[in-house]
Amino acid sequence: MTAKSKSKKLQRRRNDPEGLRARILDKAADLFQERGYHSTSMHDLMQVTGVSAGALHHHFPTKKSIGLAVLSDRVGPAVRAAWIDPVREAPALGKGVAEVFGGIIAGLRARGAVLGCPLNNLALELALTDADLRRNVESIFAEWRTALAERIGATRGGAKLDGKERAAAANFVISVYSGAMNLAKAMQSAVPLADAADLLSHWLHQHRFAS
């Protein structure tokens, strides 16, 4: 790279506050997922992003503000992409849930390590840390539950249920997934998720929630 193009690149970075913010959030989301929120310091973020203290604090005056932004701009969209959109768009709920599990299991096997669900990981770390962070975690779970409850309500089994029962069934699906992911992370194996997918698929069919 010539000195001129390097200087142009630096110029571009300086003039690209959105790009800088995105880069910080990407790294923060990665570190929160690998080490956890509490084990990631502002200093760590400066080191891995190469961003100055001034620039980091300009975008995120506190670690909490990074936590809130990671939840809204990274974890929320990840849960939407992995679970909520496929559940909404699947031709049938049973098939949709099976494909979600299949995709996640394939991803774990390709990676060779189980980092866990980013929402779960942050949920357990942040639930007692700060009320705002917890409420943001809860709102992602609520969006996930709503999408599942709506699909359940549109099935033959779900049509007979009231709103509370649909929400309970949706929470059950989320619980099976979250708990199986906990076990998978503890065992560093995709087996608990594969087993859970089979038994959950059977459960959806039994309750006539599958289609």
**Residue 11 binds to a second copy (criterion: CB under 8 A):** no
2: helix, strand or coil: coil
> How far is 173 from 100, CA to CA, in rounded Å?
12
**Residue 88 binds to a second copy (criterion: CB under 8 A):** no
**Residue 176 binds to a second copy (criterion: CB under 8 A):** yes
Quick check: 193 and 182 in contact, CB under 8 A? no
Q: Which strand (E) or helix (H) includes residue 182?
A: helix 163-187
Smallest distance, Å, CB 2 to a second copy?
42
Quick check: 204 and 94 in contact, CB under 8 A? yes
Smallest distance, Å, CB 65 to a second copy?
19
Q: Residue written as tokens 């809204």? A: 72
Smallest distance, Å, CB 4 to a second copy?
43
**Residue 36 binds to a second copy (criterion: CB under 8 A):** yes
Quick check: 56 and 42 in contact, CB under 8 A? yes
Stretch 129-168: interaction string toward a second copy, x if CB under 8 A: -----x--xx--x-------------------------xx
Among 116, 118, 153, 157, binds a second copy (CB under 8 A): 116
Smallest distance, Å, CB 61 to a second copy?
21
Quick check: 178 and 193 in contact, CB under 8 A? no
**Residue 101 binds to a second copy (criterion: CB under 8 A):** no
